[in-house]
């Protein structure tokens, strides 16, 4: 009887040790999957392609500075489909020095689906279409209209929103002002330039460059035939 | 021989010593006669009732009671035979459970642990605005990240990150586990910048 229990116990121990540990030790950041979110708004009859460049600058108290730049390629066709080629190097402090792939997100309101493509292993994740609405609430702050200007050859309407955190609200000795400046193109119905400055977070500038208003290639919004559904 | 000695020794009828005392003591002789009469009467009564039998239902009830008592005793005997086996089984189960606890490392405490089965779909459907606090679906706004605005398109990627990434969010990480990897969903804004993160169980 004792021998039988010893065998059963040894078998159980073997099964347990054969399982991989829940958290592998060591190694760098690794890409596991992606899923396209819902587009905030579908814009038709205003096709374009462009590079969206975002620069963040953060000044540290010791005089050091952290500066990062990320470029996202964006496309939109006349039907409102969009394609975003997103390098994951933008994960920044979460995954410093990582070799994560570029992920492509396609939002297709015509097909009623969203896709996330991983060109590295040629997989695609499809998710259903649900138009999001009513998200978020009004932002508090003082808004002012800026004189129109031309950015990247397009007319742009400017708005500056100033939000103030009063002295003492979060333990601050003096008021904290964060300023957001948006330059919006009525033709393309997108922001051409957005500047944000906050003494707590530094400065972030996102601008659209290399804007091409011709119809992007149709294949950009299609799933290549050699891609496999990841799940 | 006195009276006490006579009754303590209960002499056989006809014994010389006992007969001598009975001859001397009228009281003991009278008691002895009474006893002889009682014994004689009981013997004759036994002879008369020898052919008498107990009623049938009484015998049936007595047999049933006897059998139930026997069965109870047999069940107890069977239980007694299984007791060592059950004890060994319980000991083995305890050892296996103990080994399970020792082999599996303790989970690192994390502030938010949605299940893997929830998937990313759940995440992208709940890209609610994030203020300074954690959202209901477990996303923690990243320090120095821009707020998630309503008209923005938010995409989510799932990555495996070093636990040291949790330190950037002020979450506790044991020093000897900072190099381990943990799964996380990262919410990306339309500008490609990470806005919020949640750690996956």
Closest to A90 measured CA to CA, from B24, B195, B150: B195
- Record: contact A30-B188, CB cut-off 8 A: no
Residue in B closest to A10 by C-alpha = B96
- Record: contact B146-A196, CB cut-off 8 A: yes
d(CA B172, CA B163): 9
Nearest CB to B99; choose among A13, A31, A87: A13
Closest to B197 measured CA to CA, from B120, B117, B87, B100: B120
d(CA B164, CA B149): 28
Its pTM stands at: 0.61
**Residue A172 CB neighbour total at 10 angstroms:** 13
Relative to beta strand A228-229, strand A123-128 is parallel
pLDDT of residue B114: 46
Burial of B29 (0-12, 13-18, 19+ CB in 10 A): middle
- Report, as ranges of residue numbers, the positions in chain A whose pLDDT lies below 70: 1-27, 90, 92-93, 97, 129-140, 231
Q: Which residue has the tokens 């009281």?
A: B27
- Angle at which helix A2-18 crosses helix B56-103, to 10 degrees, equals 40
pLDDT of residue B12: 61
B146 backbone dihedrals φ, ψ, rounded to 5°: -75, 150
- Record: contact B151-A136, CB cut-off 8 A: yes
Quote the DSSP letter at residue A192: E
Nearest CA-CA distance, residue A220 and chain B, Å:
18
pLDDT of residue B147: 67
pLDDT of residue B19: 80
Q: Which residues contact A23 (CB under 8 A, 6 or more apart)?
A: B105, B108, B177, B180, B181, B182
pLDDT of residue B113: 42
pLDDT of residue A197: 93
Instruction: Write the CA distances from B162 to A163, B155, B174, B194, integer angstroms.
Output: 35, 21, 12, 16
Q: Along the 201 residues of chain B, how does pLDDT read in single tens digits?
A: 788 887 777 656 556 667 888 888 888 888 888 888 888 888 887 777 776 666 677 777 777 777 777 665 566 666 666 777 777 877 777 777 666 655 544 433 333 344 444 455 555 444 444 444 555 567 888 776 766 665 567 788 888 888 877 777 777 778 788 778 888 888 888 887 888 888 886
Apex CA B89: angle with CA B88 and CA B95, to 5°?
90
Q: How far does chain A reach from its first CA to its final CA, in angstroms?
A: 48
Cβ(A141)–Cβ(A164) below 8 Å? yes
pLDDT of residue A185: 97
Residue A8's H or E segment, with its range, is: helix A2-18
Coarse DSSP helix, strand, coil percentages of chain B, rounded to the nearest 5 percent: 55, 10, 35
Closest to B123 measured CA to CA, from A125, A138, A83: A125
- Record: contact A135-B150, CB cut-off 8 A: yes
Nearest CB to B159; choose among A100, A130, A196: A100
Q: What is the ipTM of this complex?
A: 0.74
Edge-first strand listing for the sheet containing B140-141 = A30-35, B155-162, B181-188, B194-199, B140-141
Apex CA A79: angle with CA A76 and CA A80, to 5°?
45
User: In the numeric block, which tokens belong to residue B70?
Assistant: 């026997």
Q: Which residues of B touch A95 (CB under 8 A)?
A: 159, 161-162, 165
Q: Which residues contact A205 (CB under 8 A, 6 or more apart)?
A: A54, A55, A193, A194, A195, A196
Nearest CA-CA distance, residue A38 and chain B, Å:
6
Cβ(B199)–Cβ(A41) below 8 Å? no
pLDDT of residue B23: 85
Closest to B140 measured CA to CA, from B114, B119, B116: B114
Where would I find the H helices in B3-129?
A: 3-9, 16-24, 26-48, 56-103, 119-124
pLDDT of residue A196: 92
DSSP, collapsed to helix, strand or coil, labels residue B3 as helix
Q: Which residue has the tokens 């500038």?
A: A205
Q: Give the residues across from B200 on adjacent strands.
A: none
pLDDT digits (tens, 9 = 90+) for A146-181: 999 999 999 999 999 999 999 998 899 999 999 999
Closest to A207 measured CA to CA, from A195, A199, A223: A195
């Amino acid at each position: 009887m004792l021998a039988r229990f010893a065998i059963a116990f040894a078998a159980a121990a073997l099964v347990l040790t054969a399982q991989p540990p829940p958290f592998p030790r060591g190694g760098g950041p690794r890409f596991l999957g992606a899923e396209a979110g819902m587009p905030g708004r579908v814009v038709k009859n205003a096709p374009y392609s462009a590079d969206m460049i975002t620069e963040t600058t953060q000044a540290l108290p010791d005089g050091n500075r952290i500066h990062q730049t990320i470029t996202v390629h964006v496309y939109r066709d006349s039907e409102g489909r969009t394609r975003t080629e997103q390098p994951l190097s933008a994960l920044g402090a979460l995954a410093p020095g990582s070799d994560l792939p570029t992920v492509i997100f396609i939002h297709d309101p015509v097909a009623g689906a969203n896709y996330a493509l991983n060109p590295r292993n040629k997989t695609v994740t499809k998710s259903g279409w649900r138009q999001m609405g009513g998200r978020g609430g009004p932002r508090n702050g003082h808004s002012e209209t800026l004189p129109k200007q031309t950015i990247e050859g397009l007319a742009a309407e400017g708005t500056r929103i100033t939000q103030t955190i009063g002295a003492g609200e979060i333990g601050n000795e003096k008021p904290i002002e964060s300023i957001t400046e948006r330059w919006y193109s009525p033709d393309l119905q997108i922001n051409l330039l957005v500047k944000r400055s906050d003494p707590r977070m530094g400065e972030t500038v996102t601008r659209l460059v290399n804007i091409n208003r011709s119809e992007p290639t149709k294949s950009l919004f299609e799933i290549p035939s050699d891609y496999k559904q990841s799940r | 021989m006195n009276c006490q000695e006579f009754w303590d020794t209960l002499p056989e009828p006809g014994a010389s010593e006992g007969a001598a005392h009975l001859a001397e003591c009228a009281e003991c002789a009278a008691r002895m006669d009474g006893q002889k009469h009682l014994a004689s009467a009981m013997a004759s009564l036994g002879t008369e009732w020898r052919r008498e039998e107990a009623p049938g239902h009484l015998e049936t009830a007595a047999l049933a009671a006897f059998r139930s008592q026997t069965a109870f005793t047999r069940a107890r005997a069977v239980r007694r035979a299984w007791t060592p086996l059950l004890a060994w089984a319980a000991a083995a189960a305890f050892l296996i459970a103990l080994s399970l606890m020792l082999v599996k490392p303790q989970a690192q405490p994390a502030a938010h642990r949605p299940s893997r089965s929830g998937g990313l779909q759940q995440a992208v459907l709940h890209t609610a605005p994030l203020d300074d606090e954690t959202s209901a679906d477990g996303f923690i706004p990243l320090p120095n990240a821009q707020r998630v605005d309503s008209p923005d398109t938010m995409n989510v990627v799932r990555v495996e990150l070093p636990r040291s990434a949790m330190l950037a969010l002020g979450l506790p990480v044991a020093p000897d586990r900072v190099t381990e990897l943990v799964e996380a969903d990262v919410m990306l804004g339309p500008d490609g910048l990470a806005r919020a993160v949640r750690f996956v169980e």
